[in-house]
Structure 1
Amino acid sequence: MSDQPKIELRNVSKAFGSNHVLRDVSFSVTPGESMTVIGGSGSGKSVMLKCILGLMDVDGGQIFVDGADVCAMKQADRDDVRTKFGMLFQGGALFDSLPVWRNVTFALTSGRYRNSGEMRKVALDNLERVGLGEEVLELRPSELSGGMQKRVALARAIAPRPEIIFFDEPTTGLDPIRTDVINRLILELVRDLGITALTITHDMGSVEKISDRVAMLYDGRIIWSGPVGDLRRSGDVHVDQFVMGHADGPIA
């Protein structure tokens, strides 16, 4: 495995007026690793993710993908880097007007009708990886349960065989059983396909299931990071309060 980080943030800052959302955020993700960033609502997790994806420009600092500073790139070069990315959005973000097979292969066809027979085979291969079969190929997302929609969205994320997948609150809105199904799928896919994963979530059950390492974002800063096994003995009162879900503590 390469010593070069797959993703690295160095002193990344982002503000909206007087609201400093990210303050000198630094961390790295190694190839094939599953890294999770935790933090409460409004802690800056989503803004951080948008900066890595290039959807927002940083105010300061650098973001590297495979050693290349994406913040210093021209737009065309950034677009090339994005071909390495897959994304599982919080709400699934499936196209309800398209059947499942076209949703799964959307990135491969740029949304156009072409090679429909071949694309259906590609869709089925990826659906089978997440425990679904050909019976869902022609269904619309609205005909699926919430858990099945998440699995279709996961199949879409892996279809282009990305090097990196970003998971945005992957289990939000799911019951405990379906949450565990999605967590197991994420773990299996990352390991089987050798994908590097960066997840943002506040679901501690998911964190401890899918993570190799964890970092906590609080008040715009990374206040702790380490192996997931050390999470419950971090020695940081903010991390302890968040992990245990206690109302009393330094986090309001």
Structure 2
Amino acid sequence: MSKPAKIAIKDVAKAFGENVVLDGVSLDVKTGESLAIIGQSGTGKSVLIKCILGLLTPDAGSIRIDGQEVVGASEREQERIRRKTGMLFQGGALFDSLPIWRNVTFGLTRGAYKNPAKMRDIAAENLERVGLGADILDLRPSALSGGMQKRVALARAVAPRPEILFFDEPTTGLDPIRADVINDLIMSLVDDLGITALTITHDMASARKIAHRVAMLYRGRIIWCGPRDRLYDSGNPYVDQFVQGQAEGPIR
């Protein structure tokens, strides 16, 4: 029996003036599945995530999380839905003015200084999950390398134990070894915690490693979706050109 859709996207459209960014996107992400969306810069990958999170309102279409409609939901309903989610931003988006332990627990405290002993323990537990020690709890983000900052941001994303995690270019700016560390962490979180993951990425090595399925967004539509093992054998000339990084092909 197949797993139900955790996220169900149907015919979603979004334009900014005359610029049509999403033009009828339909896609399902199953419970406990890791799905990666690939595509050129400016194709609407980030806009799609913002629509799923209710940060942007689509012009048309439906987005359901656990069967509940996001489009047109009240602010209270959207906030309740967002509590199921976590986000790893492309740049990490840590707060430079806060120590690491407060960064990691920010989603639990909403930034308030409360239960410091308990929050430090929670921060240490989640840092350990991403391979970092309690010795960095009182440091500021600026004292850490880029790879360590990414891991702290990942610890922050999972601290509230979300059901869904969104990853925005999780390996950008990292060398191949550190990028692979992040990929391994994402895989372990999906497997160990049963999290549903949706990743947007340009990194084909990352997509092949962390995703069960890969979808390609082109000109506002999903033009291919299939298992990761078919990414380099898709039979789609647009996908072939993109994943192989070729100048010649249907994409101009």
Pick the TM interval, shorter chain: over 0.9
The code of the aligned residue for 2:162 comes to: P
Unaligned ranges ≥5, structure 1: none
**Residue matched to 1:169:** 169
How many residue pairs get aligned? The number is: 252
Structure 2 Cα separation of the partners of residues 208 and 230 of structure 1:
9
Residue 200 (str. 1) matches residue 200 (str. 2): yes
For the 8 Å contact 1:146–1:174, the answer to whether it is kept is yes
Structure 1 Cα separation of the partners of residues 250 and 2 of structure 2:
39
Structure 2 Cα separation of the partners of residues 76 and 84 of structure 1:
13
3-state SS, counterpart of residue 5 of structure 2:
coil
3-state SS, counterpart of residue 113 of structure 2:
coil
Residue 117 (str. 1) matches residue 117 (str. 2): yes
**Residue matched to 1:105:** 105
CA shift digits 1:219-244 (9 cap, x unpaired): 11100001111111111100000011
TM-score (norm 1): 0.99
TM-score (norm 2): 0.99
3-state SS, counterpart of residue 71 of structure 1:
coil
**Residue matched to 2:29:** 29
- Give the CA RMSD over aligned residues: 0.9
For the 8 Å contact 1:40–1:202, the answer to whether it is kept is yes
The code of the aligned residue for 1:181 comes to: V
Map 1:116-155 → 2, pairs under 5 A: 116-155=116-155
For the 8 Å contact 1:2–1:31, the answer to whether it is kept is no
Unaligned ranges ≥5, structure 2: none
3-state SS, counterpart of residue 52 of structure 2:
helix
**Residue matched to 1:187:** 187
Structure 2 Cα separation of the partners of residues 246 and 111 of structure 1:
46
Structure 2 Cα separation of the partners of residues 221 and 10 of structure 1:
11
3-state SS, counterpart of residue 209 of structure 1:
helix
Structure 1 Cα separation of the partners of residues 228 and 72 of structure 2:
32
Which aligned segments of 4 or more residues in structure 1 are displaced greater than 4 angstroms? none
The code of the aligned residue for 1:37 comes to: I
3-state SS, counterpart of residue 132 of structure 1:
coil
3-state SS, counterpart of residue 216 of structure 1:
strand
What is the CA distance between 1:2 and its match in structure 2?
Answer: 6.9
What is the CA distance between 1:174 and its match in structure 2?
Answer: 0.4
